[in-house]
Structure 1
């Protein structure tokens, strides 16, 4: 398995993966309307270009034998602290539980450490089964937060952190 640093040239790949990952991942947690709204908000061309080109988000793609398996986005020195914020981590449903997510967390942990960040942080929906995965990797719930994302939708999240 390889990690590829994504660029704006990889936007179509990120979008293709999100189309295959998001609906089955969130079907039992969010309404189809909220899934569509959030996908447009986060994965439109303009949203991804802004994340990569303006907001300082870095995307990693996991690839094996020419197939893309998932993606992770992160931001170093989040809000001026020595924290690396994982904004997104998604793996194809058929590959969940096969080490791709751990591979991503290990990779971003090495990057964070290299840049002097002492902690990883992420948000996860409070009803997402991935919470147990993050706990197994050493993340701890540090707080709950509800984020109004517009259109009457909320993200009901745990914030989870891990020292690196």
Structure 2
């Protein structure tokens, strides 16, 4: 049975391990190895993850079956500015994809959002990550725009923005 819990700083090595396993598969043929390495260092270093988790603005959830963590999600509520939740990260180990882990994380987030007065969930997806795009569209998300986000060292994130009404 899938169990989801809020991550703490003690879970950072697990988050990093899932990211290190998932990213090369998710972005194969999409990002260069140098951009992949840069983004991993920037987004998943221990100091950055500790700051996000301890800061409380970005919430991480880990999904596991038994003692085996299979994926994670990071999100933030954008209240009081707007009644939406922004998903920053959702990664499932390649071996666990298609087994309901991502769906379980999204279901939990949507339930949380509805019961706390949120109206929408938004997220960004790399324009060339067709499997992620199909996953979100199947879950009822709609593409609303494209955007290019500079992330440093002349790298960009070339994304679609998706939204779903709760």
Q: Any idea what SS the aligned residue of 2:29 has?
A: coil
What is residue 42 of structure 2 aligned with on the other side? 41
What is residue 162 of structure 1 aligned with on the other side? 164
Over the aligned positions, Cα root-mean-square deviation in angstroms equals 1.2
- TM-score, normalized by length of structure 1? 0.96
- Report the Cα offset of residue 94 of structure 1: 1.3
What is residue 111 of structure 1 aligned with on the other side? 112
Query: For 1:11 and 1:79, how far apart are their aligned partners in 2?
Result: 28
What is residue 65 of structure 1 aligned with on the other side? 66
Query: For 2:128 and 2:79, how far apart are their aligned partners in 1?
Result: 25
For residues 80-106 of structure 1, give each alpha carbon's deviation from its aligned partner in whole angstroms, at most 9, with x where no partner exists: 210000000000011112211111110
Query: For 1:27 and 1:33, how far apart are their aligned partners in 2?
Result: 12
Q: Point out where structure 1 has 5 or more consecutive residues left out of the alignment.
A: none
Out of 129, 143, 147, the position equivalent to 1:141 is 143
Matches within 5 A, 1:61-140: 61-77=62-78, 80-129=81-130, 130-140=132-142
Query: For 1:161 and 1:115, how far apart are their aligned partners in 2?
Result: 18
- Report the Cα offset of residue 54 of structure 1: 2.6
Count residues with an aligned counterpart.
164
**1:94–1:79 Cα change, 3 Å:** farther
- Report the Cα offset of residue 119 of structure 1: 0.5
- Deviating beyond 2 angstroms after TM superposition, the runs of 4 or more aligned structure 1 residues are none
Q: Any idea what SS the aligned residue of 2:158 has?
A: strand
**1:157–1:41 Cα change, 3 Å:** same
- Report the Cα offset of residue 55 of structure 1: 6.0
**1:127–1:79 Cα change, 3 Å:** farther
- Report the Cα offset of residue 78 of structure 1: 5.6
Q: Point out where structure 2 has 5 or more consecutive residues left out of the alignment.
A: none
Query: For 1:79 and 1:140, how far apart are their aligned partners in 2?
Result: 24
**1:12–1:117 Cα change, 3 Å:** same
- TM-score, normalized by length of structure 2? 0.95
